[in-house]
Structure 1
Amino acid sequence: MTTVGVVGGGIVGLAVAREILLRRPEDTVVVFEKESSLGAHQTGHNSGVVHAGIYYRPGSLKAQLCTRGRYLLEEFAAEHGIPYEACGKLVVAVDESEMGRFDALEKTATENGVPGLRRVGPEEIAEIEPYAAAGLAALHSPRTAIIDYVAAAEALGRSVTEAGGEVRLGEEVTGIHRVTGGIEVETPAGRTRVDHLVVCGGLESDRLGELTGGPKTPRIIPFRGEYMQVSVAKQDLVRGMVYPVPDPRYPFLGVHFTRRVGGGLEVGPNAFLALSRRRYRRTSLTPRDLVDTLAWPGFWRFAAEHWRTGFTELRGVLSKQAYMREAQRYVPEIGAEDVTRAGLGLRAQAVERDGSLVDDFVIHHADGITSVRNAPSPAATSSLAIAEYVVDRMS
């Protein structure tokens, strides 16, 4: 019998634990989660979108695992009664300067086999989303969906425990030690010996990766994304989702309109440097996190190249009016007076020493330890497929 430790109680870590028990029910699986609940960080602070594969470089892990993951997640949601709605998405080009990027995005989405994808003109844009801007063209993805990711994480946690696994809440991993014949996972409660370890640390993935003795790069730079809640009077102006054409220099998709499975309509998120990896207030600052960011040469190289974009994002952070002026390019009838500030999310973005943003998932395997070093969006969509990928490669 083999004992496998999984660090991280987000949706990816729980999906890995479940997959191990599905394939190897004789194994013992222990999940270590530092928080008192499951899905407390990136899993529970995103826009709830189940991506269909529009944006990701064909052949990349993101493209492959998003496509497979969407299918698996829809099945899992139906099996466990988790709220899931394929409300569809429009990616709208509103002026001629965006058309080159739009055409490239259509090619990418087509190569990725996005189900039901269609290019539509102004008349069909109005039929699908009557209050959307009269764009030049849009990509319509009818199978892009929304889900309750926390409910999905909780269902995965139940699946793990029902299959005989153990989920330990409130146990932060503070050390990982290679010992003869195995690995010891250290927490304030003591040490647990395992034969194989899978680390799905999200916002802490670089620090946990170093504890395993893995490479020091890439490093995580946290980005915060703020959301606005649309008033009840105008929340029905968007039927599904309305997105801009993204800037291909960044992995962020731009401020967009998204319905939530629990009701309501949100705008966001933007993307700006976060000063904390664990706290979710606009003024949150954790000294260690800030020091780690400023000490990483890759941050300064990234900042030097992209400071103009950062300044633009800062205006939206400081001013609700500036934030909504950008959003109104896509749904003109929802303005600053129609929204209130809602929550914010944190994105674990891996950055190389040269300042480049790591675009694809990064998963390392070495000597009985698997480390998921970079798994930003669409990691939640891809979670069940990431689990298959990881378990396929476990020795």
Structure 2
Amino acid sequence: MNNKHYAIIGGGINGLAVARQLLLDFPDAKVTVFEKESDVAMHQSSHNSGVVHAGLYYEPGGLKARLCRRGAELVKEYCLSNNIAYDECGKLVVALSQEEEGRLEAIYQKSLANKVPDVRMLNAEQIKEIEPNCIGTRALHSPRTAIVSYGDIARHIAKEIKQRNGQICTGRAVAQLTEKAGKITVHFDNNEQYDAQFDYAVSCAGLQSDRLAKRSGDIETPKIVPFFGQYYVIDSQFKDHVKGLIYPVPDPKYPFLGVHFTKRIDGQMTIGPNAFISFGRENYSGKKFNLGDVYDFLTYKGFWKFSSKNMSAALRELKTVASQTNFVQEAAKYVPSLASVSVAPATRGIRAQAMESDGSLVDDFVIRKQGNITHIRNAPSPGATSSLAIAEYIVREVMSHS
């Protein structure tokens, strides 16, 4: 019997998944989720592409590769078991030149090492069999890559938590966690404390993860630097020009992937995202300016080191920020029939990018244990895909429950 009391900070898909896993593994435990918003899944969990990544790109043996593969299986199983929409539409990673073909072959080898199911390389003619309107010299086909609504999944997990006697406290912004003599106190923004102490805590604070970790006694880095990614929905008359997902081959000169085609679970087709610095960690509208957030990255030496090394990438992305036409043209390199398609703004996501003081971007998941407090310090894409596996990993491998 485990009658311990667990605090989970953050009601996004990762926090909810950890709470659910605790209740599955320890039905007698008391689990309380704290979420600062009025409902769950109001940040990154509902502002993303909805792709269930298969594990193509990630370094074999790393946490990303391991937890993405396990997570993709668990997401599929969860959706099918709970009648949540799940579309295995497949994905092409398309090379447009001989140089890109070499990089594509390296991705293919990684996908084999990661045991991604049913992947294969295609020539130009075979690309047309999968995506008739797509051009390219070669492509990597991942037929098991799928799309979902992670917001829907998160909200369903929240219902399950309540059914299993877990508690979700919304409207409670946690400012700090302190531990003394094996007991953890949860402190709120208004200098109040929760009226009970906890045996364990897991911080899944997303865009605020570094701040909460630092205030709770963890190390300062990696630091979160926010980048926004804008998506556009194409004119619905043209949505059938693309059947699934069409991605570019990543260019090592650029830190982010680049514009691509992504089918949505509602059947619409989107292009995006670009990647540019956000003037607020939670600036989903793009119309706000958070002075504290901007000051935070402008005074971080890691940001300036990153910027000095990535000016060409910034200029490329700025073109897509400034002009919808340039945005569409980037995507139309792969589907020329959509070069003049009209688009409308859709989801705008904020990537909680962890950055070291030397300007390097943290590639793998970062999960740190400090006493009886566990911090998810970095869980970018494929963080949502991996959420149920991240929960298993934290509950069964990182935490000690004795």
TM-score scaled by structure 1? 0.97
Does the Cα contact within 8 Å between 1:251 and 1:359 map onto a contact in 2?
Answer: no
Unaligned runs of 5+ in 1: none
Aligned to 1:324: 328
Inter-partner Cα distance in structure 1 for 2:346 and 2:388: 29
How far 1:190 moved relative to its partner?
3.6
Unaligned runs of 5+ in 2: none
How far 1:170 moved relative to its partner?
1.1
Inter-partner Cα distance in structure 1 for 2:364 and 2:255: 9
Aligned to 1:176: 177
Match of 2:36 among 25, 30, 34: 34
Aligned to 1:315: 319
Question: One-letter code of the match for 2:24?
Answer: L
Q: 1:213-224 to 2 correspondence within 5 Å?
A: 213-224=217-228
How far 1:249 moved relative to its partner?
5.2
Aligned to 2:49: 47
TM-score scaled by structure 2? 0.96
SS at match of 2:310: helix
Question: One-letter code of the match for 2:127?
Answer: I
Aligned to 2:394: 390
Aligned to 2:86: 84
SS at match of 1:313: helix
Does the Cα contact within 8 Å between 2:185 and 2:193 map onto a contact in 1?
Answer: no
How far 1:355 moved relative to its partner?
0.3
Inter-partner Cα distance in structure 2 for 1:378 and 1:343: 17
How far 1:336 moved relative to its partner?
4.6
Does the Cα contact within 8 Å between 1:53 and 1:63 map onto a contact in 2?
Answer: yes
Give % identity. Answer: 47
SS at match of 2:125: helix
Does the Cα contact within 8 Å between 1:234 and 1:338 map onto a contact in 2?
Answer: no
Q: Deviations over 1:224-251 (max 9, x none)?
A: 0001111011011111111100123556
Q: 1:39-188 to 2 correspondence within 5 Å?
A: 39-133=41-135, 135-187=136-188, 188=190
Does the Cα contact within 8 Å between 2:48 and 2:347 map onto a contact in 1?
Answer: no
Inter-partner Cα distance in structure 2 for 1:370 and 1:218: 15
Inter-partner Cα distance in structure 2 for 1:119 and 1:251: 25
Does the Cα contact within 8 Å between 2:9 and 2:202 map onto a contact in 1?
Answer: yes
Q: Deviations over 1:130-158 (max 9, x none)?
A: 1112x110000000000011110011111
SS at match of 1:378: coil
Does the Cα contact within 8 Å between 2:209 and 2:224 map onto a contact in 1?
Answer: yes
Inter-partner Cα distance in structure 1 for 2:96 and 2:353: 28
Distance 1:249 1:153, change over 3 A: farther
Distance 1:359 1:274, change over 3 A: same
Distance 1:60 1:247, change over 3 A: same
Does 2:232 correspond to 1:228?
Answer: yes
Aligned to 1:18: 20
Match of 1:283 among 281, 284, 287: 287
Inter-partner Cα distance in structure 1 for 2:33 and 2:254: 33
Inter-partner Cα distance in structure 1 for 2:254 and 2:63: 17
Inter-partner Cα distance in structure 1 for 2:388 and 2:11: 14
Does 2:342 correspond to 1:338?
Answer: yes
Q: Deviations over 1:84-111 (max 9, x none)?
A: 1100000000122212211111111111
Question: One-letter code of the match for 2:38?
Answer: S
Aligned to 1:265: 269
Distance 1:346 1:168, change over 3 A: same
Q: CA RMSD in A?
A: 1.2
Inter-partner Cα distance in structure 1 for 2:381 and 2:251: 16
